Amino acid sequence: MINGNTEQFLDTGWLSEAEIYYKGNIYWCEGYTDEKGTHIFFIKKWAAENINNMYYKNNLGSDGDLADYDESFHLEAKSEEELRQKFLKSPVFEGKTFWEVEKELCLLEPLGNLRI
């Protein structure tokens, strides 16, 4: 993992609003436990530009909204560990799993927006 510690990310980061850059997109990860005790994890994805493996700039469409925005990835499980295993086995990153692209993933902080 570029600009991050893989073990630390898998310990807590993947559930804590992590922003991962991969091949022109930000994957914003977050998880929580609902009132019924179900563990939920989701990813929101959109086009962005990587700035020196430290920051990203969101790509905005002509309408001012995030370009290529997608919030379709969603998982549920009975435990946090089951949820983590589902995430690690899911083809989230352009059809590849976390472990298949782990060395190419970059943890970034937001910086701003770009008009495209």
- pLDDT the model gives residue 30: 94
Name the residue ranges covered by the structural domains of the chain: 6-115
Per-residue pLDDT of 26-60, as tens digits, reads: 999 999 999 999 999 999 999 999 999 999 999 99
Pairing of β 55-60 and β 109-115: parallel
Residue 15 pLDDT level (bands cut at 50, 70, 90): confident
Instruction: Give residue for tokens 């997109």.
Output: 25
- pLDDT the model gives residue 4: 87
Residue 110 pLDDT level (bands cut at 50, 70, 90): confident
Instruction: Give residue for tokens 């060395």.
Output: 103
